[in-house]
Amino acid sequence: MNSKLSVLLVEDSHDMLELLRRNMNDLGLNPFATSNVMDAIDILEKTEIDLLITDLKMPQIGGIQLIKYMYQHFPQIPILVITGYPNIEDAIEVIKLGAIDYITKPFTFEDLKSAIEKVFTQANKTPEITTENTDRNFFHGIIGKSHPMQMLYDTIEKTKNNKATILINGESGTGKELVARAIHYNSKFSSSPFVPVNCGAIPEQLLESELFGHVKGAFTGTVSNRAGFFQAAHGGTLFLDEITNASLIVQAKLLRAIQEKEITMLGDTKSNKIDVRIITASNTDIQEMILNKTFREDLFYRLNVITINIPPLRERKEDIEILIDYFNRKFSKENDKKILKINANIKSILNNYMWPGNVRELENFMHRLVIMSDDVVTIEDIPPYMKMKSPRTISSDNETLAEVEMKHINKVLKSVDYNKTKAAEILGIDRKTLRQKLKID
């Protein structure tokens, strides 16, 4: 579809909004998404929109009020209505107000594609909708045209409708959650919940309760029963990021959940059946943890039915320019600025940089460039640590990757006066990961 066509998505369900966003990307459309009507109006007033797709039943201000507003202020923008509560009176009203079509949840990708084609046809727009993208520069929110990324896309396609456990390996900042979301939202289970859990961000003593839930009186302060993430993901996908942070106790319960397809809440004696696809991710060497007895070998084999390895950015250099252009457009639009001009010399510097923080580091760098630069990126806008070093300071070719990475981390720390928060942001990692790399208690 013509990439110039922009679609505004208004839906209060986060999961449905994410699904719609990915469907728009698959159709070659440019999606803008929001969960409420007031933000939608703000986007309409600041952005050129070619199509509105809106739910009807939403908290506070509903979709009908938005359509009435559109009728008076933006009558040229065609409207497609989606809702999980089909009502003939509502359908008649929104059609009278200017909505071109009306579909009900749950709907298939083909249903949505057909409805959008109908809307654009009646609105006298002639986009070429296609779901076939031989280059596949963009795939369900993931960006990259290189051969390693094409192989990654093929793996996602092969695994999307299978409920076997999946282990995603990749360095920090490579986009492990993006891959997990692409698997879920591209699958036949996409209308079910996708529940992401960062195991590294939850204190060890609370992780078991958060995952499996607890009953009243299970421990001090529990005054009622509370479901965990497993129950929240029932019928859908549970994504456990940084799985290696789970304690051996949690690992044992996770192993039972996978084997028996049931869980036991803390403080309870009876088990509850679960129907959940489990995707886990790690940026550490699990095999080494198994040797050190800090990760269960039997759990590893249960999690590792399907393995997906995400290549670091330095191994897919041809994707860097695509990512630079994408983030340049994205952040320029968000900050209401002109797209930055970046000449070939600057792009060459960025292409030769190692990007230890991977895509997240590149994204943060481009965000900062858009905010701080005026119209054109100059050589002065590129920090010294990204530029070629003096020949007398170039590292030996025999240095390990870990040694090169540590040198880079120390240079970034020095450039920000050893402010770890700023350094972590530049590197595209969190403070905890930075502390681990520095081995600081």
Taken in order 258, 260, 263, 266, the sign of the CA dihedral is negative
pLDDT digits (tens, 9 = 90+) for 261-288: 999 888 788 888 999 999 999 988 898 9
Which helix (H) or strand (E) covers residue 348, if one does? helix 344-352
The fold of the 313-438 domain, in CATH, is: Helicase, Ruva Protein; domain 3 (1.10.8)
Phi-psi region of 275 (alpha: psi -120 to 50; beta: other; left: phi over 0): beta
| Residue listed under structure tokens 């050893």 | 418
Question: What single string gives the DSSP state of each residue in 85-146?
Answer: S--HHHHHHHHHHTEEEEEESS--HHHHHHHHHHHHHHTT------S--SS-SEETTEE--S
CA gap 239, 178 in Å, rounded: 11
Q: 195 pairs with which residues across the strands?
A: 238
- Rounded to an integer, the average pLDDT of 8-27 is 86
Reply yes or no on whether the pLDDT at 335 is more than 80: yes
CA 180 centroid distance within chain? 8
The rounded percent of the chain whose pLDDT value lies above 70 is: 88
Q: Of 21-35, 99-113, 129-143, 255-269, give the lowest mean pLDDT range.
A: 129-143
pLDDT interval class at 183 (50, 70, 90): very high
Question: Homologous superfamily of 6-122 in CATH?
Answer: Response regulator (3.40.50.2300)
The residues, ordered by sequence, that sit 6+ positions from 183 with a Cβ below 8 Å of its Cβ are 156, 159, 160, 166, 237, 279
List where CATH 3.40.50.300 sits in the chain.
Answer: 142-309
| Residue listed under structure tokens 């990021």 | 241
Q: CA geometry: angle at 203 spanning 227 and 278, to 5°?
A: 55
CA 133 centroid distance within chain? 21
312 by DSSP, 3-state: which?
coil
pLDDT at 253: 92
Q: What is the mean pLDDT of the chain?
A: 84
The residues, ordered by sequence, that sit 6+ positions from 192 with a Cβ below 8 Å of its Cβ are 234, 235, 236, 237
> If you count them, how many residues does the chain have?
441
Could you tell me if 299 and 254 are in contact, meaning their C-beta atoms sit under 8 angstroms apart? Answer: yes
Q: 308 pairs with which residues across the strands?
A: 168
CA gap 206, 313 in Å, rounded: 34
CA gap 411, 399 in Å, rounded: 16
Give the gyration radius of the chain's Cα atoms: 24
CA gap 133, 140 in Å, rounded: 12
The residues, ordered by sequence, that sit 6+ positions from 265 with a Cβ below 8 Å of its Cβ are 212, 213, 214, 215, 218, 225, 227, 228, 272
- Rounded to an integer, the average pLDDT of 107-126 is 80
- Rounded to an integer, the average pLDDT of 15-31 is 85
pLDDT at 441: 39
List where CATH 3.40.50.2300 sits in the chain.
Answer: 6-122
Q: What are the CA-CA distances from residue 99 to residues 40, 79, 310 (Å)?
A: 16, 5, 42
188 by DSSP, 3-state: which?
coil
pLDDT digits (tens, 9 = 90+) for 189-213: 888 899 999 998 898 878 988 899 8
- Rounded to an integer, the average pLDDT of 135-140 is 76
Give the architecture (CATH level 2) of 142-309: 3-Layer(aba) Sandwich (3.40)
Phi, psi of 344 (to 5 degrees): -60, -35
pLDDT digits (tens, 9 = 90+) for 383-436: 988 887 655 444 455 677 777 788 888 888 877 777 888 888 888 888 888 888
Reply yes or no on whether the pLDDT at 133 is more than 60: no
List where CATH 1.10.8.60 sits in the chain.
Answer: 313-438
pLDDT digits (tens, 9 = 90+) for 282-329: 988 898 999 999 999 999 999 988 999 999 999 999 999 999 999 999
Reply yes or no on whether the pLDDT at 35 is more than 50: yes
